[in-house]
Each structure stands twice: as structure tokens, then as C-alpha cells.
Amino acid sequence: MEKENTASGVKEIARRANVSTATVDRVLHNRTGVSEKTKKRINDIIKELDYQPNILASRLASKKIITLAVIIPSVSEETDFWLAPLSGIRRAETEIKQYGVQTLTFFFDLNDKESFAEQIKLVLDQDVHGILIAPSFIEETREFAAQCAKRKIPFVFIDSDIPDLQSLSYIGPHLYKSGYVGAKLLTYRLQSDAKVLIINISKETDNFNYSEIEEGFRAYFKDHVQPNDIIRVDISETDYQSVARHLTYLFHLNKDIGAAFVTNSRVHTVASFLKNSHRTHVSLIGYDFVKENVGYLENNVIDFLICHRPEDQGYRGMMALHQTLVMNAAVTRLSYMPIDIVTKENYEFYQN
């Protein structure tokens, strides 16, 4: 019955537009070969009739497989953060596979830009129709975006953005406002004469994410005329011993550090240092609800965790590609996630 109604709908549109059903079909599936004038006439009739094509039946009839590629970091000893986006990706995958969509997943080492570049090359060697990617290394992502533009492959960014690369959509935090919120949280028990540390722990310290977060963080202090000195440190070696060495030197030079803000999920490394060096009086805020961080939150070493629902990022990223490639529907270019604040008192009830 549904197939009959669909066929009847196409015939009625064709009759009203005085065109063939094949022409209507081209417009419905966004194919070439129809003049703009005719396309507008058909779309106006579609809107007037509130016609909804049976996308599932159409996809099954076409027997065309749509292949989506996912490029995200692998889970490491340092953090299990990427389990959450992967879970969201898998959830979306189960929903859209009935439309003839298959997913290829590629993992890279977050501490190795060569690994990132290799996985991009592997993906672009495949016949893929859309790509979901975490753009962890800037220059390599720029080259990736250029290749996608040449091949007309839409791509979606999750977790972090590079605004000038014309992604189909960015799904993740509003970085500036996230940093602003972090600064507000940090001042709740900060003495006016205490210094503040901003700590970037990443192989890729020259990163759009960190600069936007830091800009928002500093803006709060400026807007509220906070007198505290802010010291920024970039630590490119991400293992604990390297982080501890840098922080030992900083704390030796600056006896009056009262708070620290870590711009990513590696806040647990700083928490470990503060605990081991008996400096747990220092306020500490960082990102992400991962097991490495929750223990320090529970034990009052980390004051707050800022979270951006990574599972939903993975899910919504896949659905954005589905909307574009299967449903022929527009998607929002910027889709910002909520800025959640997790504390010792509420972490038991929080889900990514």
C-alpha cells in the first residue's frame, strides 16, 4: 500500500508539473538533467502536496551501497575518551544500515601525526561517499580537506573544528565559551594574589582547540577584572614523567600558583602530579568524563570536569552524513554540544 501511495504521489506531481515521472524522480533524488525552472516548479508542487518519498523503498530498489568512513583516535593507556564517540558511531550505524549504508572505521594514534596521515591515505584509497573525522593534526587535516574537495566527498568534524576547511558540519563544543566557563569555575575559591596555570598537554600544541579555549578562558578574567597572573605552559611529551618534570620546574619558579586549568582530557596526569607532590590545595579543572579523571574527581583532587557529550557527537556526526547522502536533506553547519559540569556530587548520575 505504501509503495502504491508513493507511486501515485510521483504520478500526481508529474501530472501537475506537466513532466514525466522520470523527471520527478531526478528532482527527488537530486540528480542532474533538469532545468532550474522545471526543478523549481516540481519542488513547489512537492511542498504544496507535503509529499514525503519512501526513502527506504527507494534505497532498497537502487541497491547502491553508500560507504561512510570514520577516522578517530584509538583508545590508549592515557585515556579511554574515544570509547564514547565510537559508541555513538556504532549506535548510528545500527540505525542507518537498513538504508544500504556501510561503515569503515580507521583508528590512529593520538600522539603520532604520521599515524593520522597514514589512516587518511588508507581512507582516500577507498571508494567512500562521506567521512567522519576528528581533525587532531592541523596541516594533515588541511591536506585531507583539499583532497575531499577535489573528489567532492563531504566530511564532518567532531570534537574539534578547523573553521576555514568547509566541512559539511562541525559537531562539538563551542570552544571559546567552554574556556570561559572553565575560568568562571576556577575562580570560585581562587585568592586574588594567586597565579593561574593554563596547561596544554598534547603532541600538537599549536591547535585551534587549545587557542580558542585559552582565548575564552582569558576573556573571563579580563571581563571580570580578575587580578590574577595567568601562566601558559605547552607540554608536548604526554607521558607522566615528562609532565611531572615540567610542572616541578614551574612550581619551583612560582610558589604562589593557586589553580590550574588543563585544556583536554589529560587533566588526570596533572592531578597525579599534584597528589604525588602534596599540592592538592591547588584548584584543578579539566575536561572529559573518563575513568582516569573520575577517580581524582571523587577524591577531591580535580574540582570540576567539563564535558561535551562525546557519544552524541559520534552519533550526530554519522547522522549528518546520513541526512546528506541518503535523505538529500540539509544539515546544520555548526552543531554545538552542551557544556556540562561534572562534580564529585553528581558524577554518579552523569552519562557521556
DSSP state letters, 49-62: HT----HHHHHHHH
Cβ(149)–Cβ(166) under 8 Å?
A: yes
Shared domain for 159 and 206, answered yes or no, is: no
Q: What is the pLDDT of residue 15?
A: 87
- Specify whether the CB–CB gap between 6 and 25 falls below 8 A: no
Q: Which tens digits make up the pLDDT trace of 179-231? A: 999 999 999 889 999 999 999 998 876 666 788 999 999 999 999 999 999 99
Q: Is residue 122 part of a domain?
A: yes
Q: Where are the beta strands (DSSP E) in the chain?
A: 66-73, 101-108, 130-133, 155-158, 169-172, 195-201, 230-235, 257-262, 283-287, 304-307, 334-336, 340-342
Mean pLDDT computed over 8-33: 82
Is the residue at 108 inside a domain?
Answer: yes
Q: Which of 26-40, 171-185, 317-331 has the lowest mean pLDDT?
A: 26-40
Tally of domains within the chain: 3
How far apart are alpha carbons 275 and 281 in whole angstroms?
9
**Residue 333 vs residue 351, higher pLDDT:** 333
Instruction: Answer yes or no: do 132 and 196 share one domain.
Output: no
Q: How many Å apart are CA 343 and CA 335, to the nearest integer? A: 25
Provide the Cα torsion 215, 220, 223, 228; round to 10°: -100
Check pLDDT > 80 for residue 24.
yes
pLDDT at 142: 95
Q: What whole-number distance in Å separates Cα of residue 181 and Cα of residue 179?
A: 5
Check whether 17 has a pLDDT greater than 70.
yes
Q: What is the mean pLDDT of residues 149-168?
A: 95
In this structure, the chain runs to a length of 352
**322 CB-side CA count, 13 A:** 22
Q: Is residue 61 part of a domain?
A: no
Which pLDDT score is estimated for 233?
A: 95
By CB neighbour count within 10 A (0-12 exposed, 13-18 middle, 19+ buried), where does 267 fall? buried
With H, G, I as helix, E, B as strand and everything else as coil, classify residue 111. coil
- The answer to whether 183 and 220 have CB atoms below 8 angstroms apart is yes
Q: Are residues 26 and 90 in the same domain?
A: no
Domain check: are 184 and 278 in the same one?
A: yes
Q: Any idea which of 10-19, 49-58, 67-76, 144-153 has the lowest mean pLDDT?
A: 49-58
Q: Is residue 227 in some structural domain?
A: yes
In a domain, 207, yes or no: yes
Q: Each residue of 267-282: pLDDT tens digit? A: 999 999 999 999 999 9
Residue 156 · residue 167 · CB < 8 Å: yes
Domain limits at 224?
175-307
pLDDT band at 2 (very low <50, low <70, confident <90, very high): very low
| Cβ proximity of 134 and 71 under 8 Å | yes
With beta carbons less than 8 A apart as the criterion, state whether 297 and 347 touch. yes
Q: What is the pTM of this model?
A: 0.82
**140 pLDDT exceeds 50?**
yes
CA distance from start to end of the chain? 42
Q: Which residue has the cell 506537466?
A: 18
C-alpha cell at 302: 580535580
- Min mean pLDDT across 10-24, 214-228, 290-304 is at 10-24
Q: How far is Cα 133 from Cα 169, in angstroms, rounded to an integer?
A: 11
Is position 350 within any domain? no
Same domain, 126 and 17: no
**3-state secondary structure at position 72:** strand
Q: What percent of the chain has pLDDT over 90?
A: 71
Enter the C-alpha cell of residue 203.
603532541
Same domain, 322 and 303: no
Residues 90, 103: Cα–Cα separation, whole Å: 9
| Residue 342 is assigned to a structural domain of this protein | no
Q: Which grid cell is 224?
A: 571580570
Same domain assignment for residues 115 and 159: yes
Shared domain check, 179 and 300: yes
Residue 16 has a pLDDT of 87
- Mean pLDDT across the chain, nearest whole number? 90
CATH of the domain at 101: 3.40.50.2300
pLDDT confidence band for 5 (50 / 70 / 90): very low
Spatial contact of 289 and 339, defined as CB atoms under 8 Å apart? no
Residues 137 and 224 occupy one common structural domain: no
- For the segment 83-93, the average pLDDT, to the nearest whole number, is 96
Residue 324 shares a structural domain with residue 290: no
Residue 51 has pLDDT above 50, yes or no: yes
Q: Three cell numbers at 110?
A: 593520538
CATH number for position 8: 1.10.260.40
Q: How many CB atoms lie within 10 A of CB 5?
A: 12
Predicted pLDDT at 32: 82
Q: 346 lies in a domain?
A: no
Q: Is the pLDDT of residue 333 over 70?
A: yes
Q: Are 181 and 293 in a shared domain? A: yes
The verdict on 218 and 302 lying in the same domain is yes
The predicted pLDDT at position 63 comes to 66
